[in-house]
Amino acid sequence: MRVAALALIVACALGCKVEFSDVAARFVVGDATWFEAEQTLFIFYEVQAEQGLSDASVVEVRFTTDDGVVDWTPVSDFESVHTHLAVDCGATSRCGSQSIRVAREPRDVRLRMRYHRDGALSLDATTRLNIVNAGPAFSHRSLLVYGVFTEDNKAVQWRARHHFPALRNEEVERLGLRRYFAIDDMAYGQLGDGIDTDANPYLYATDCEGSTPLEWQPVSTEERAIFSPETLPDAASALPVVCARSTVRDATGTFSTGAVARKNPEVRPAFPVLRSPVEDATPIKYVIATCDRTISTPHLKMQRQRLLIDDDVEPFCIDGLSTEMLIDQLVARIREDVERVRAEGHDMVLVMALHHDQRPLRETIEAALEEALSTELGRSTPRVVGAFVLDSYAYSITNGTVGATTIWCPASVSLTPPDEAILATAASLGCTLPPV
């Protein structure tokens, strides 16, 4: 018996196949950028897999230069030019970055993820390679340094911003890259003529003219930004910028150039005193609905939620009322509520949730609004400035007074009136609701 079992195991080892499970893995970021002036190849990657990735999985890179081929190597095995934090992108992702000293232009740069560092199964990335040749520092280097003033134009915060062709600053930060920069030789003055601020909005690698040195201490950091602890002297109040020397690191050593902090523009209020300040109107809220039967509890709940009508607002019941009685009672209720709120000195807006399954009811409510609003239009504040109706069906307002002061939502548009009538209701077409 034992011999038979052993034979079965041997046979299975020779002929049985174990299926691979697709974990739906893919590279969502596979970016390589080489800066000639810095002799640095930056690698950024993010891999996602629906079923997660093992801690034994590893991202590798391969590239070629005139010096030879660098075969598949885990990106973490290279000596980093810059600081790269270990980042956690979640249980189903593996992400990070690396900076590698590469003196000559790389080509055929490829990224892949090996599912297990000792295994043969791997996932290739569609690697995007960007080559940035030597050129002006503000457009051909991977880090820009600049300054911003505090609101009172007294102190300066110095900032660094990653500058890559295909990745935003925030994305580079998220993938773990951190950069050192230092600031010294601060001075206040003004910019020279002929500086193209459109091409160089951060004014990186720009110097001041006729500047006056500041006795400020040098500062340095690997964080996103750092303040100079000193404040500007009064003598600098009339001059627009503070210039400094910024120093960053790369694979060649250090690189120093100018960094500029521009003051905030001095402004004054366009209208120092507003005689008619803008204030929010006070909503007077109604739920107009049947009370003897339930049409749709979820729909009514949605109407209350959209109009922020609390559950303690009792519905205005329409059961058993003729058209005339409904108009009279609703108008009386509106006027009573309006006078109560008017005594508080606030403008008002009527907010109505119209919950029904009787299409002729819309004309009745429109008539009630016309009667209630017509006396308000000629009044000075406090007054009713308009109304908003959230209906169970689409409707097109026909009364001119109501149409000038009311948004009926959802609105229907007929093709028979002139264009002006279509435009008058088109603004509320986006309020479409599911059918009751």
CA 27 to chain centre: 23
Q: Which residue has the higher pLDDT, 255 or 237?
A: 255
d(CA 276, CA 341): 20
pLDDT at 432 (0 to 100): 44
d(CA 181, CA 254): 10
Query: 254-280: per-residue pLDDT in tens?
Result: 999 999 999 998 777 776 766 655 668
Q: Which residues touch 393 (CB under 8 Å, ≥6 apart)?
A: 359, 362, 410, 436
Say whether pLDDT at 207 is over 80: yes
Say whether pLDDT at 154 is over 80: yes
Per-residue exposure over 73-97, b if at least 16 CB sit within 10 Å of its own CB, e if not: eebeebeebbebeebebeeebbbbb
Q: Are 179 and 143 in contact (CB under 8 A)?
A: yes
Name the average pLDDT for the chain.
87
pLDDT at 202 (0 to 100): 95
Q: What's the whole-model pTM score?
A: 0.60
304 — pLDDT class (breaks 50, 70, 90): very high
Say whether pLDDT at 344 is over 80: yes
Q: Where in the chain is the domain with CATH 2.60.40?
A: 26-132, 137-262
Say whether pLDDT at 168 is over 50: yes
pLDDT at 274 (0 to 100): 62
d(CA 370, CA 367): 5
Instruction: Tell me what the mean pLDDT of segment 153-162 comes to.
Output: 97
d(CA 414, CA 430): 16
74 — pLDDT class (breaks 50, 70, 90): very high
Angle at 206 between CA 204 and CA 211, to 5 degrees: 130
Say whether pLDDT at 415 is over 80: no
Say whether pLDDT at 75 is over 70: yes
Instruction: Tell me what the mean pLDDT of segment 405-423 comes to.
Output: 63
Say whether pLDDT at 18 is over 80: no
Q: Which residues touch 232 (CB under 8 Å, ≥6 apart)?
A: 153, 154, 155, 156, 188, 214, 242
Q: Are 349 and 369 in contact (CB under 8 A)?
A: no
427 — pLDDT class (breaks 50, 70, 90): very low
Task: Give the tokens for residue 125.
Answer: 């990335």
pLDDT at 169 (0 to 100): 96
- For 298-309, give the secondary structure using H, E and C: HHHHHHHHHHCC
pLDDT at 42 (0 to 100): 98
Instruction: Tell me what the mean pLDDT of segment 95-103 comes to.
Output: 97
137-262, what's its fold? Immunoglobulin-like (2.60.40)
pLDDT at 275 (0 to 100): 63
Q: Are 390 and 359 in contact (CB under 8 A)?
A: no
288 — pLDDT class (breaks 50, 70, 90): very high
Q: What is the dihedral of CA 37, 77, 112, 41, to 10 degrees?
A: 0
Question: Considering only CA atoms, which of 291, 308, 285, 303 is closest in space to residue 393?
Answer: 303
Question: What is the share, in percent, of the chain residues with pLDDT greater than 70?
Answer: 87
Query: 23-43: per-residue pLDDT in tens?
Result: 678 999 999 999 999 999 999
Question: Considering only CA atoms, which of 27, 42, 34 is closest in space to residue 89?
Answer: 27
Pairing state between β 316-317 and 282-289: parallel
pLDDT at 23 (0 to 100): 61
Q: Which of 7-11, 25-29, 182-186, 407-411 has the lowest mean pLDDT?
A: 7-11
Query: 248-257: per-residue pLDDT in tens?
Result: 999 999 999 9
Question: Considering only CA atoms, which of 196, 201, 202 is closest in space to residue 181?
Answer: 202
d(CA 263, CA 155): 10
Residues in a beta bridge with 391: 354
Q: Are 18 and 47 in contact (CB under 8 A)?
A: no
26-132, what's its fold? Immunoglobulin-like (2.60.40)
Q: How many CB atoms sit inside 10 A of residue 409's CB?
A: 22
pLDDT at 374 (0 to 100): 85
